[in-house]
């Protein structure tokens, strides 16, 4: 409790970075493992911070949990790494500094698909050993995801009465990923029992200061800040931070004027920064009152109409609806694509879906082709977006571009692996999973970027997600759909299905879902095509009967195409009675096959309407 007593009417100077300092010395391996293999190196760092004037030291345990250590095969070393870390810091500190057991956020800047259950397990184990070794307090730091920080804070609060410092990290000034204001986040942390609340990392002193300006002093808790030294530069393959200790010290003073009482440094800071800061703050007293002009974060979002365009998920609830996939060409002769789009428009489809480099092979950008078909044929484009080809920056810029072009229908998918495409060595990005991409788009629909920055307008995306029903355990695929709905999916589009019985099973397994499904139908073009799809394309399985039917006409290309159409029609007959949405996938730009199937569906609809009319008349 002494630490908190000291803060009652004074400041506490904390230490600076551990990780980036080790990195600057050339350490390229797990930093926390050095507690065991190079204890003197860690103690030298503690010693240097202590001599610089730090009154609070952090243990070298930022990533010393099961989840992060397992990346180095060190998952069994959680206990020893944490125990050693506390001993090293305490031996150095003696009675001259407090020792905080540090536990870093796991989810990091992108909300990686790691469950809270796993985070809790990892956290509990590390917490146990840090408390066991009698630290003076806990430093929960670098949490970009508030949900994660709140979860672990509650666990820590139950386990100890020691001082707990809870620090978030921000991408943008004053606002958390997801759009919550820093002030509100700190409020919530205080309510959950954090003794000191604040922010660390990511922002240099300038942006940290701007983030803390205009936020009120916490009610009971104290305020902390551990800014980075600067923004990092990338020189000769290494990240370098500007080293300007005097500037850092001046900014630290300004931070104290905003109410900060526990002040240290994060990435890029060194003992020189802490020394300059300690000297500058020597006789400085904390502020006790702060006048704040509350400045609510202006989302300024207003929605933009889609020009009367009804979203597909509503259309398909109301009536039968057909969408057709026609993929952009892999070459620059686009005549055939445009002819196909025109023919499909005339056949009366609801939307044309265009893959995003499907099978991981480059095609003309679907955004460009979408612009062309809208311009030429006033056809509704549905643009697939994969997480494979664009990082978090590229994805957002792509989505903003689509919105500005008036393209509001997207399908959010992971993307086929590059291994199966034309460039098997190409990198795959996967900054986001398909679930996270759906969430991102839905956040943009609220007027916020990934980092919480206001977009000044709400996007109006209607978001489809992928459904692969061709799996052994259908219930598992359905539970993925449920998660996608939770993430915000408005409707589903499925892989092609080639089995009548399975189609009934799919209907049974999905009928409870609150969102509609477009069921996939792809006409086969030949027996070879059928065999390839069956044996080599992930997510597609054909029945023996269908393969035999195609094999029986293998000698004649025309007959093969006819047989393919006839199989597709019979699958449509089944699908038609079970689902309102039909998704036809055009094989090899043979759009005339898709046109024939669309016409077939319309004829069915027509007959049905006639029958209903007739029946109705009869009743009257
Ligand atoms: C309608 C549709 C359109 C598509 N368009 C494109 C496109 O334009 N470009 C492109 O490159 N790819 C496209 N794909 C392929 C798609 O990206 C991959 O097939 C993807 O892995 C499945 O969809 P998802 O991205 O939603 O995956 P998710 O459901 O998020 O699955 C991601 C990972 O989980 C695994 N997984 C999926 N289901 C299960 C399960 N039941 N149990 C355990 N693990 C599972 C998968 O193997 C995958 O590795 C499309 C797929 C569909 C259905
Ligand atoms: Zn940092």
Tens of pLDDT, residue by residue over 419-478, are 888 888 899 999 999 999 999 999 999 999 998 889 999 999 999 999 999 988 999 999
User: Ligand 1 centre from 448 Cα, in Å?
Assistant: 26
End-to-end CA distance of the chain: 85
> 195 in ligand 1 pocket by Cβ < 6 Å?
no
Nearest Cα to Cα of residue 583 among 491, 471, 513 = 491
In this model, does residue 619 exceed pLDDT 50?
A: no
Which stretch of 102-116, 239-253, 259-273, 312-326 has the lowest confidence by average pLDDT?
Answer: 102-116
Name the class of domain 312-619.
alpha beta
The Cα–Cα gap between 483 and 492 comes to 12
Evaluate the CA torsion angle 521, 525, 527, 531 in order and state its sign.
negative
CA distance 461 to 442: 8
**Is residue 299 predicted with pLDDT exceeding 60?**
no
- As a whole number of angstroms, the distance between CA 246 and CA 277 comes to 8
Backbone angles phi, psi at 427, to 5 degrees: -75, 150
The verdict on the CB of residue 384 being under 6 Å from ligand 1 is yes
Atom of ligand 1 nearest to the CA of 464: 1
Q: Is the pLDDT of residue 158 over 70?
A: yes
What integer pLDDT is reported at residue 298 of this predicted model? Answer: 58
Whole-model pTM: value is 0.81
State the chain's mean pLDDT as an integer.
94
Among all bound ligands, the one having the nearest atom to the CA of 102 is: 2
Residue 294 has pLDDT above 80, yes or no: no
Residues near 40 by beta carbon (within 8 Å), at least 6 away in sequence: none
Residue 25 vs residues 29, 42, 45, 147, 178: alpha-carbon distances, Å? 12, 12, 11, 34, 36
* Count of other CB atoms within 10 angstroms of residue 363: 18
Is residue 416 within 6 Å of ligand 1 at its C-beta?
yes
CB 349 within 8 A of CB 322: yes
Window from 53-67, 227-241, 572-586 with minimum mean pLDDT? 227-241
Percentage of the chain exceeding pLDDT 70: 96
Q: Is the CB of 8 under 6 A from ligand 1?
A: no
Q: Is the CB of 249 under 6 A from ligand 1?
A: no
What's the pLDDT score for residue 620? 39
Q: Rounded CA gap, 160 and 489, in Å? A: 41
Dist. CA 582–CA 574, nearest whole Å: 11
336 is in an annotated binding site: no
Ligand in closest contact with the CA of 496: 1
- CA of 523 from ligand 2 middle (Å) equals 54
Residue having the nearest C-alpha atom to atom 31 of ligand 1: 414
* C-alpha–C-alpha distance, residues 431 and 453, integer Å: 19
What is the residue with the minimal CA distance to atom 5 of ligand 1? 355
pLDDT tens for each residue of 48-64: 999 999 999 999 999 99
3-class secondary-structure state, position 614: helix
Question: Does the beta carbon of 522 sit less than 6 angstroms from any atom of ligand 1?
Answer: no
Q: Is 404 labelled as part of a ligand binding site?
A: no
Q: What is the 3-state secondary structure (H, E, C) of 323-377?
A: EEECCCCCCCCCHHHHHHHHHHHHHCCCEEEECCCHHHCCCCCHHHHHHHHHHHH
Q: What is the average per-residue pLDDT within 10-15?
A: 98
pLDDT of res. 112: 65
pLDDT of 485 over the 60 cut: yes
Is the pLDDT at 118 greater than 70, yes or no? yes
pLDDT over 90 percentage in the chain: 86
267 carries a ligand binding annotation:
yes
What pLDDT does residue 173 have? Answer: 92
Q: How confident is the model at residue 307 (pLDDT cuts 50, 70, 90)?
A: low
> What tens digit of pLDDT does each residue of 540-563 get?
889 999 999 999 999 999 999 999
Instruction: Output the pLDDT for position 234.
Output: 82
Ligand 1 binding pocket includes 471 (Cβ within 6 Å): yes
Domain residue extents for the chain? 2-280, 312-619
All residues at 6 or more sequence positions from 620 whose CB lies less than 8 Å from its CB, including other chains? none
Q: Which of 410, 414, 473, 481 to mutate to test the pocket of ligand 1 (most atoms within 8 A of CB)?
A: 414
pLDDT of 24 higher than 90: yes
On the question of pLDDT at 266 being above 60, the answer is yes
pLDDT surpasses 80 at 113: no
Choosing among 1.10.275.10, 3.20.20.330, 2.40.30.10, 3.40.50.2300, the CATH entry for 2-280 is 3.20.20.330
User: Which ranges of 160-262 would DSSP assign to H, the alpha helix?
Assistant: 182-191, 205-212, 245-257
Specify the long-range contacts of residues 570-575, CB closer than 8 Å, at least 24 apart: 570/500, 571/497, 571/498, 571/500, 571/503, 571/521, 572/521, 572/597, 572/600, 572/601, 572/604, 573/604, 574/500, 574/503, 574/504, 575/497, 575/503, 575/519, 575/521
pLDDT in the model for residue 1: 53
CA distance 620 to 612: 12
ipTM rounded to 2 decimals: 0.89
């Amino acid at each position: 409790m002494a630490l908190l007593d000291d803060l009652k009417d004074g400041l506490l100077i904390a230490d600076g970075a551990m990780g980036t300092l080790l990195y600057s010395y050339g350490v390229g391996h797990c930093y926390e493992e050095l507690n065991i293999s190079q204890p003197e190196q860690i103690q030298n760092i503690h010693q240097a911070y202590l001599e610089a004037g730090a009154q609070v030291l952090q243990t070298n345990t930022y990533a010393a949990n099961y989840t992060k250590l397992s990346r180095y095969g060190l998952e069994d070393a959680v206990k020893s790494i944490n125990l050693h870390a506390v001993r090293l810091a305490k031996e150095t500190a003696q009675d001259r500094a407090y020792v905080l057991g540090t536990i870093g956020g796991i989810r990091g800047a992108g909300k990686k698909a790691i469950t809270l259950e796993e985070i809790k397990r990892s956290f509990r184990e590390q917490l146990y050993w840090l408390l066991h070794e009698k630290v003076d307090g806990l430093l929960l730091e670098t949490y970009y995801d508030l949900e994660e920080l709140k979860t672990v804070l509650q666990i820590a609060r139950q386990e100890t009465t020691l001082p707990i410092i809870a620090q978030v990290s921000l991408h943008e000034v004053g606002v958390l990923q997801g759009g919550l204001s820093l002030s509100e986040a700190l409020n919530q942390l205080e309510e959950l029992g954090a003794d000191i609340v604040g922010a660390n990392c990511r922002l240099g002193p300038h942006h940290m200061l701007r983030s803390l300006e205009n936020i009120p002093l916490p009610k009971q808790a104290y305020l902390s800040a551990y800014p980075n030294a600067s923004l990092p530069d990338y020189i000769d393959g290494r990240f370098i931070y500007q080293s300007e200790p005097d500037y850092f010290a001046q900014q630290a003073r300004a931070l104290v004027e905003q109410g900060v009482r526990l002040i240290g440094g994060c990435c890029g800071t060194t003992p020189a920064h802490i020394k300059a800061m300690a000297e500058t703050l020597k006789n400085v007293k904390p502020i006790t009152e702060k006048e704040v002009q509350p400045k609510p974060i202006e989302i300024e979002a207003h929605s933009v109409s889609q020009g009367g365009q009804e979203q597909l998920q509503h259309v398909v609830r109301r009536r039968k609806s057909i969408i057709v996939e026609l993929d952009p060409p892999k070459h620059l002769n686009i005549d055939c694509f445009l002819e196909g789009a025109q023919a499909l428009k005339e056949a009366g489809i609801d939307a044309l879906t265009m893959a995003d480099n499907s099978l991981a092979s480059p095609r003309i950008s679907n955004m460009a082709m979408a612009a062309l078909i809208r311009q030429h044929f006033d056809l509704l484009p549905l643009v697939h977006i994969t997480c494979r080809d664009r990082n978090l920056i590229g994805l957002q810029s792509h989505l903003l571009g689509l919105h500005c072009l008036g393209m509001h229908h997207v399908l959010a998918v992971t993307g086929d692996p590059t291994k199966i495409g034309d460039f098997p060595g190409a990198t795959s990005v996967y900054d986001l999973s398909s679930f996270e991409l759906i969430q991102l788009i839905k956040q943009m629909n609220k007027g916020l970027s990934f980092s919480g920055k206001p977009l000044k307008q709400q996007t109006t995306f209607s978001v489809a997600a992928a459904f692969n029903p061709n799996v052994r355990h259908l219930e598992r695929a359905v539970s993925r759909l449920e998660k996608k709905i939770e993430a915000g999916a408005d409707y589903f589009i499925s892989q092609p299905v080639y089995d009548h019985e399975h189609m009934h099973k799919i209907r049974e397994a999905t009928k409870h879902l609150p969102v509609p499904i477009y069921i996939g139908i792809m006409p086969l073009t030949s027996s070879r095509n059928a065999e390839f799809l069956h044996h080599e394309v992930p997510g597609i399985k054909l029945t023996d009967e269908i393969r035999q039917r195609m094999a029986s006409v293998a000698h004649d290309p025309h007959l093969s195409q006819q047989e393919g159409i006839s199989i597709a029609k019979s699958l449509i007959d089944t699908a038609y009675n079970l689902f309102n949405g039909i998704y036809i996938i055009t094989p090899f730009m043979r759009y005339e096959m898709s046109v024939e199937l669309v016409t077939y569906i319309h004829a069915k609809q027509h007959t049905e309407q006639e029958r209903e009319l007739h029946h109705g008349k009869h009743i009257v």
